[in-house]
Amino acid sequence: MDDFADIYANDQSKKAKIEKIIYMYDNMKYNLENVPTTLSKGDMNRLLEMESSSDIKRLLNKMQSKELEYLIRKELKKTAQAEKSKEDDTSFERSGLFGADGDLKYG
């Protein structure tokens, strides 16, 4: 709640709505529903614009989906870079009597 103190300043209605959103977030999190790992001030401002509980839940689900997509893209990028560096290490052309597996080449 202290993280969002500058959002509600002295407005008690905003403070009450922020408390409601935090309660919903915690409840969804502990019931293993889809919620983002953290709520930033920007996220809270977006949530404050929502009127109904169902809209807030829908937006929390959407935030979690976006966070998950970002993490998946990041992991795929890391995996692709690792595979590329692995290919670069083994892509040299062997010449001579022996092949890449160390066996004698004929022909």
Q: Partners of 98 in the beta sheet?
A: 104
The pTM (predicted TM-score) of the whole model is: 0.69
pLDDT of amino acid 62: 95
pLDDT of amino acid 89: 62
pLDDT of amino acid 5: 79
Below-50 pLDDT ranges, the chain: none
pLDDT of amino acid 28: 94
pLDDT of amino acid 90: 57
Over its C-alpha atoms, the chain yields an Rg (Å, rounded) of: 26
Please state, as a whole number, how many other Cβ atoms lie within 10 Å of the Cβ of residue 40.
12
Q: Round to whole Å and give the CA distance between 74 and 3.
A: 28
Q: Specify the 3-state DSSP secondary structure of 60.
A: helix
